[in-house]
Amino acid sequence: MKCSQQDNAGNFSETRVIIDIIDQLRPQFKHNRYEASVSENQVGPVLEVLPAPIQADTSEGSNYTIIYSINEDSPSDYQNNFNVDQVTGIIRVVTELDFEEIKDTITIPLKVRTDK
């Protein structure tokens, strides 16, 4: 995600938020990394992980649920600023980002697993 903001004086600041997909079982994605933009002080949905996971092991069938979460094992200074809907994979900003206090890039390690 690219977080950018321009103030009334025309000053512009930008931060990138990178989503790393950590596959746990069968879910597979076309890409390992997704990026999106977030405005300064924005709260709410910012990124839906697309394309949807693709089933890799056809012997398991397609009757499983994909569960999304932020990987707590990979520390991030900004993990508490975001949450992810376990069912849809939509990532939300839950705490405003202050561009004066954050890095240029934020990485959110996203864990994806199945219920099987």
Domain boundaries in the chain? 2-114
pTM value is 0.59
**Phi, psi angles (nearest 5°) of residue 88:** -90, -25
Question: Residue 88 to residues 6, 76, 100: CA-CA distances in angstroms?
Answer: 31, 22, 31
Per-residue model confidence as pLDDT tens digits over 54-76:
544 444 555 677 788 888 776 66
Per-residue model confidence as pLDDT tens digits over 82-93:
888 888 778 888
Strand 12-23 and strand 105-114: pairing?
parallel
Total number of residues shown for the chain: 116
CATH 2.60.40 is right for the domain spanning 2-114: yes
